[in-house]
A = this chain, B = another copy of it.
C-alpha cells in the first residue's frame, strides 16, 4: 500500500492529497500521456482509501483537463491538443471549410531572454534561451507570426532539429525531441499596430491594425515551458465566449 507524500498539509482533504499524488505521477512521467492509469479499484487498494475518494480525486483531474475518463475503457492521461489554440482567434476558412495551416521557420538563434520573456519563464533577463520566429500560413497566405522563447538547456536539442520539422504543430515536436510536455497555457489578447518587420511578415501595411496574443505555456508540473508573442491581422480576428 502506497503512502501519500508527507509534505502536503495533513489538514488537506484526503481526496486533495490523492489528487496531488496522481498529478505527481503524471508530472514525473510515470503515467504517460495517452496511456491509461490503473483502474479505480486498484488505486483505492494501493492507497488504502475508499473507491469514492479515488473517484473524487480523479474527477478533480478531469476537471483540470489533465485526464479523460471513458466508460468501459479506462482513464487516460490527456494529450494536450492545441491544434486549434491560436486559430480559435483567427478566421482561417475558405469556402466555409476550415483550412489546416502550415508553418515555416523564419529564424532560430540562441540569446538572452530579455525582461519580458524572462519574467514569464521565471528566468533572469540575461538567461540564455532559444528564440524561434515562425510564420503560419493558410492557403499560402500569411495568417500569424510567432516569436517564441524556450528555456535552455531543456530545449537545446531543438537548435539542431531540421527546420522542416517546424512545419507542423510545435508541442508534439517539443514532446518528441525535447521530452517537454505542455499541459495548459495562459493568454493575453490586445490590439496593436504592425511595426515594419511584422507588417512585412504578414504581408500587410506598416501601422495596420493587428491582434497581439501573448502566451505562456506550462508543463504538468506547473513550470513555464514556453513564452510566445503572436501577431495576426485584426481583420481576421474572431472569437466566441460563454459567460455567466
Question: Residues on A close to B: CB < 8 A?
Answer: 64-65, 80, 82, 85, 183-191, 209, 211, 234-244
Let me know if B241 and A191 touch, CB within 8 A: no
Which B residues are in CB contact (< 8 Å) with A234?
191, 209, 234
Let me know if A237 and B191 touch, CB within 8 A: yes
Q: Please classify the interface of chain A as helix (H, G, I), strand (E, B), loop, or mixed, using the class held by over half of its residues.
A: strand
Residue A188 contacts which of B64, B183, B235, B240 (CB distance < 8 angstroms)? B240
Contact flag A186-B235 (CB < 8 Å), given A191-B209, A191-B211, A209-B209: no
Question: Would you list 21 pairs from A and B whose C-beta atoms are within 8 A, ordered by A residue?
Answer: A65-B244, A80-B244, A82-B243, A85-B243, A183-B244, A184-B243, A185-B244, A186-B243, A187-B240, A187-B241, A187-B243, A188-B239, A188-B241, A189-B241, A190-B237, A190-B239, A191-B234, A191-B235, A191-B237, A191-B238, A234-B234
Let me know if A238 and B189 touch, CB within 8 A: yes
A4 to chain B, nearest CB (A): 23
A193 to chain B, nearest CB (A): 9
Contact flag A239-B209 (CB < 8 Å), given A234-B234, A244-B65: no
> CB-nearest residue of chain B relative to A189?
B239
Once the chains are docked, how many angstroms separate the CA of A203 from the CA of B186?
Answer: 33
